[in-house]
Amino acid sequence: MAMQFLVRHKEAELIVPAKPTPHEIRPLSDIDDQKGLRFHVPMIMFFSYNQFLDEKNPVGVIRDAVAKALVYYYPYAGRLIEGPSDKILVNCTAEGVVFREAIAEVGLDQLRNFMQPPFPYSKEFLVDASDSTEILDSPLMLIQFAVNPNRISCKMVTRLICGGLVLAIRINHAISGAIGLVQFLNAVSQISKDPSSAPSPLPVWQRWLLSARNPPYVTCVHNEFEVEKNSNSSTEPTILDFPPNLVRKGFFFGPQEIKAIKKYLPPNIRQASRFDLVTALVWRSRTIALQLDPEEIVTLTYAVNVHGKNTPKLPSGYYGNGFVSSTAVSKVNQLCNNSFVYALELVKKAKHQVTEDFIKSAIDYSVLHGKPGYSTSLKDWIVSDASRTGIDEVDFGWGKPIYGGTMDGGPTFNMAVYSRLRNTQGDDSLVVPVCLPVAAMENFQKEMEKNKFWHPKIISML
C-alpha cells in the first residue's frame, strides 16, 4: 500500500562548469546517435546517515564538486542539436546541468522496502525542470537532492528525517549510458573528497572510435534491427501493441534462486553466467505468460558491452555509449515447449556472436538504414544489465549507497534494466523488472512459482 509523505521542491538551478570551458560542437558516435537511444535514463541512490553529514554541508559539497567535474566533462553542460543528415551533435555551450533542492519528510526505514525498481515514488524524488525531458536543446542531466525540514537538501541528493540521503539523477542516453554516468559520478566523488584533485581516469571523448567505416558495409545478420522482417504477426494493431492495464514488478534472483535454476542444467552446460540464466528463464516465462500464437516469432534483444574488446579498443575514460545489441530469435512454440535450456542456448549464442566484425557491421548497418530503433511490441523483450556499472559503489564521503541502480526499471513497457541489490544478510541479488498486462503478469508469476525458481519477493508499480 502506498505511503503518504511530503516532499517540498525548491526552485531548480543550473550548475555550470567552475571554470571557462571550450565552446565547440562535437559529434556523437554512430552508436550514441541511434534513434533507439533517444530517451533519458533515471538512476537513484539511497544513503544511510553518516556523521560526515553533520560536519559538512552535503548540498554544498555536491554542488561544488559537480561544477568542478563539469570542467572536465564539459559536453554534459551543453545541449544536443541536430546537424546534417539527422546527425545529433553536442553544442558545448556551458549552459549547465539542472540541480534542485528538496525537503522530504520521510525516513529510510519507511522507504527500505521500496529501494529497487520500479521505485513507486520516483515523481517525488526526481521532478522535471527546464523542459529536461526533451532530447534536443535541453539540459543533458537532471540532479535532485531532498532533506527533512531540519536538514539541508539538494536535487542530486535528498536528505530525509533520519539524516539519510537520496540522490536521484537522470541523463540523456544519447550522450552517455549508465557506465558513462557512473564514471562522472566517480569524478564527482573524487572531487568531493579532495576539491583540488582531477578525475582519474580523465574523460576521453574519441566518439569516432564507434562510428561507421567509410564506406560502411554490412557483414553480419542484425536481427536487433530487423524485428519487423522476422515477424509473422498481422499488420493490424493488436491488444499486444496497445496493452491496457499494465503492471511492472521487480523480481529478485539471489543465491538461492540461482542455485535452484542451476539444478535444471544438463551436464554438458558447465558454464553460464547469472545474467544468462536469469534472462533465459524470464524470457521463456514471459513469452508463455503472453499466450501468443504458437507460430509467432519473438525476440530477445540485449546490450553487450564492447569495453575491453580489442577492436575498436576503447580507452580508459571513454564515457560514450559503449555497447552493441545482439538478438536471440525463436518461434513461440519452440521457446515455450522446450525447457528453459533451449532459451539459454539462444541467449549464449547471441552473446558469442558479438565479435569485432559484428560490432563494426552493426554500426555500419545502423548508418546505412537510417539509425533504426528497436521493437516496440510487447511480444519482443529488450534487456539492459546495469547491475555491474558500479553505481552502488559510489562514495561521496558518507559511505556507499544501500541501493544504487535504475529507478523505473526501463524506459518502455518491453524493456527491462537490471539492477543489483544486497539484502540485510549481504546476499547479492539481481532485480529484474518485468512489465506485462495484469492477466499476463498473473500467468508469469504462476509460471515462475510452478518451477520453484523464484520466491515471492516483489515490488509493483501500476
Predicted pLDDT at 152: 31
Distance CA 243, CA 256 (A): 33
Predicted pLDDT at 90: 98
User: Does 54 or 207 have the greater pLDDT score?
Assistant: 207
pLDDT, mean of residues 252-266: 88
Question: Peptide bond before 433: cis, by omega within 30 degrees of 0?
Answer: no
Residue 181 — left, alpha, or beta (φ > 0 → left; ψ -120 to 50 → alpha)?
alpha
Q: How many angstroms separate the Cα of 24 from the Cα of each of 75, 87, 149, 320? A: 9, 16, 42, 17
Question: Catalytic positions, please?
Answer: 173, 395
Asked whether the predicted pLDDT for residue 51 surpasses 50, the reply is yes
H/E stretch holding 439 reads helix 438-450
Q: Which of 162-166, 364-368, 412-416, 438-442 has the lowest mean pLDDT?
A: 162-166
Distance CA 404, CA 421 (A): 8
Spell out the residues 6+ positions from residue 262 whose beta carbon is closer than 8 angstroms to its own: 272, 277
Query: Do 322 and 306 form a contact (C-beta atoms < 8 A)?
Result: yes
pLDDT band at 130 (very low <50, low <70, confident <90, very high): low
Distance CA 230, CA 408 (A): 30
Distance CA 6, CA 110 (A): 13
pLDDT, mean of residues 421-429: 78
Spell out the residues 6+ positions from residue 360 whose beta carbon is closer than 8 angstroms to its own: 213, 219, 311, 312
Asked whether the predicted pLDDT for residue 138 surpasses 70, the reply is yes
Predicted pLDDT at 448: 87
Distance CA 149, CA 444 (A): 43
Predicted pLDDT at 354: 93
Question: pLDDT for 226-242, tens place per residue?
Answer: 764 444 444 333 334 44
Spell out the residues 6+ positions from residue 392 whose beta carbon is closer than 8 angstroms to its own: 45, 400, 401, 403, 404, 405, 420, 422
- Of 3.90.226.30, 3.30.420.10, 3.30.559.10, 3.40.1000.10, the CATH number of 7-210 is 3.30.559.10
Q: Which of 148, 170, 141 is closest to 101 using CA atoms?
A: 148
pLDDT band at 244 (very low <50, low <70, confident <90, very high): low
Predicted pLDDT at 241: 47
User: Using the 8-state DSSP alphabet, how is residue 11 labeled?
Assistant: P
Distance CA 203, CA 69 (A): 10
Asked whether the predicted pLDDT for residue 363 surpasses 90, the reply is yes
pLDDT, mean of residues 324-328: 95
Q: Which of 60-74, 107-121, 358-372 has the lowest mean pLDDT?
A: 107-121
Q: Which of 444, 297, 303, 312 is closest to 377 using CA atoms?
A: 297
Q: How many angstroms separate the Cα of 230 from the Cα of each of 100, 115, 226, 296, 377? A: 46, 38, 6, 9, 13
Q: What's at 247, amino acid-wise?
A: V
Question: pLDDT for 387-399, tens place per residue?
Answer: 999 999 999 988 8
97-104 and 7-9 beta bridge pairing: antiparallel
Q: Which of 73, 78, 313, 96 is closest to 199 using CA atoms?
A: 73
Distance CA 345, CA 215 (A): 35
pLDDT over 90 percentage in the chain: 60
pTM above 0.75, yes or no: yes
Question: pLDDT for 183-231, tens place per residue?
Answer: 999 999 999 999 999 999 999 999 999 999 999 999 999 998 876 444 4
pLDDT band at 424 (very low <50, low <70, confident <90, very high): low
H/E stretch holding 99 reads strand 97-104
Residue 314 — left, alpha, or beta (φ > 0 → left; ψ -120 to 50 → alpha)?
beta
Candidate ranges 6-15, 404-413, 424-433; pick with highest mean pLDDT: 404-413
Summarize the chain as % helix, strand, coil (round to 5). 30, 25, 45
* Average pLDDT across the chain, whole number: 86
Q: Count CA within 13 A, CB hemisphere, residue 132.
A: 31
Q: How many angstroms separate the Cα of 437 from the Cα of each of 280, 302, 357? A: 20, 22, 39
Question: pLDDT for 151-189, tens place per residue?
Answer: 333 334 455 555 678 889 999 999 999 999 999 999 999
Domain boundaries, the chain: 7-210, 223-461
Question: pLDDT for 97-112, tens place per residue?
Answer: 999 888 777 877 788 8
The fourth-level CATH superfamily of domain 223-461 is: Chloramphenicol acetyltransferase-like domain (3.30.559.10)
Question: pLDDT for 273-297, tens place per residue?
Answer: 999 999 999 999 999 999 999 999 9
H/E stretch holding 252 reads strand 246-253
Query: Do 219 and 357 form a contact (C-beta atoms < 8 A)?
Result: yes
Q: CA 141, 143, 146: angle at the middle one, nearest 5?
A: 170
Distance CA 39, CA 75 (A): 17
Same fold? 7-210, 223-461: yes
pLDDT, mean of residues 319-334: 96
pLDDT, mean of residues 354-363: 94
